[in-house]
Amino acid sequence: MKILVTGGAGFIGSHTVVELINNGFHPVIIDDYRNSESFIIDRLQKITGVSIPVYAIDFGNIKSLSDVFEKENPEGIIHFAADKAVNESVINPLKYYHNNISNLINLLKVIDQYKISSFVFSSSCTVYGVPNQIPVSEKTPIKPAFSPYGYTKQVGENILLDFFKTKPEISLSILRYFNPIGAHPSALIGELPIGVPNNLIPFITQTAIGRRKQLTVFGNDYDTPDGFCIRDYIHVMDLANAHVLTLNYGMENKNADLLLNVGTGKGVSVLEVVNAFEEINKIKINYTIGKRREGDTPAIFADNSLISKKLNWQNKYSLKDALKHAWKWEKNLANR
């Protein structure tokens, strides 16, 4: 069963490709390497022992995408391809509106011409904006987005809900996930930011290895127990597993739409993560406290009871595991 994975060479996409193969699927990757690098494909083949079809195209190019559908005839799609940095979206909103919304519409134009069974969309907890209370459940009201990135995910969800109403034969699943971190336990694949990292963990590991002089922690005056932002950090392999379970559910339950949070259900502050990394990996991080960063929600973590009930999903990896794997990956990269 062929599954098209847009953004399949990226952080979450690559780990999901591994899980798809482990569960008997045949992934087909589309990725233009704007947020990844081509050597990841070799690493995927080393981990899985499988030669994976890869198309280095922009998923928003209707002609190129149609050619892939014509040749591969996928039965399902997991759509990761998007720009994803909150702060960058504040600085360059048009980039996000084009890639995350216009290109999504182009993808749906192509899907409209072919038969698939299950579509899984990579959404985000940013759709909740600044929630009135935490943890957030799938019934938590959607508030105004804190950033253009969050807004593109809100709009993307609405576009998909409207489109798939016209496609009752296709199951739509929307996964709102929280903060993916870590790396494959082999350290052959992991988070690979292009340029200066926008996410906490790669900035920590790059500072620890000496690629960055100093980590800036943005803001210590939030209304949280220690004044720092609180997030729900989920190991990327647990997130990858959630995508495979969701895809399977859609394949087996026709027109059974899902909207699920994917998180550990535990909130951890940024400072707690920095301290935990130092303790677990026996290394000191050179960090300083900076001003708040525009677009950051003060605190958010998941109520994950619905995905546990629907898919019998639970996270297997701890924060400690994720921080160990991320550091192992960073050291592996330094020796590449």
Mean pLDDT by 10 residues, the chain (336 residues): 97 98 98 95 98 96 97 98 91 97 98 96 94 94 92 98 95 97 98 90 97 96 96 98 97 89 98 98 97 89 97 97 98 86
Superfamily of domain 2-181+234-262: NAD(P)-binding Rossmann-like Domain (3.40.50.720)
pLDDT of residue 50: 97
Q: Determine the Cα–Cα distance for residues 102 and 155; give it in Å rounded to an integer.
A: 11
Helix (H) or strand (E) holding 179: strand 179-181
pLDDT of residue 250: 95
pLDDT of residue 209: 96
- Whether this prediction's pTM lies above 0.75 is answered by yes
Token pair belonging to 165: 């109403």
Judge contact between 33 and 58, C-beta under 8 A: no
Instruction: Kindly state the DSSP code that residue 102 receives in the 8-state scheme.
Output: I
Torsion angle of the four alpha carbons 292, 222, 195, 266, in this order, in degrees rounded to the nearest 10: -170
Q: Is the link from the previous residue into 193 a cis peptide, with omega within 30 of 0?
A: no
pLDDT of residue 195: 87
Could you please report the per-residue DSSP string of 52-94? --EE-S-TT-HHHHHHHHHHH--SEEEE--S---HHHHHH-HH
pLDDT of residue 146: 85
pLDDT of residue 6: 98
One-letter amino acid at 88 equals: E
Active site residues: 149
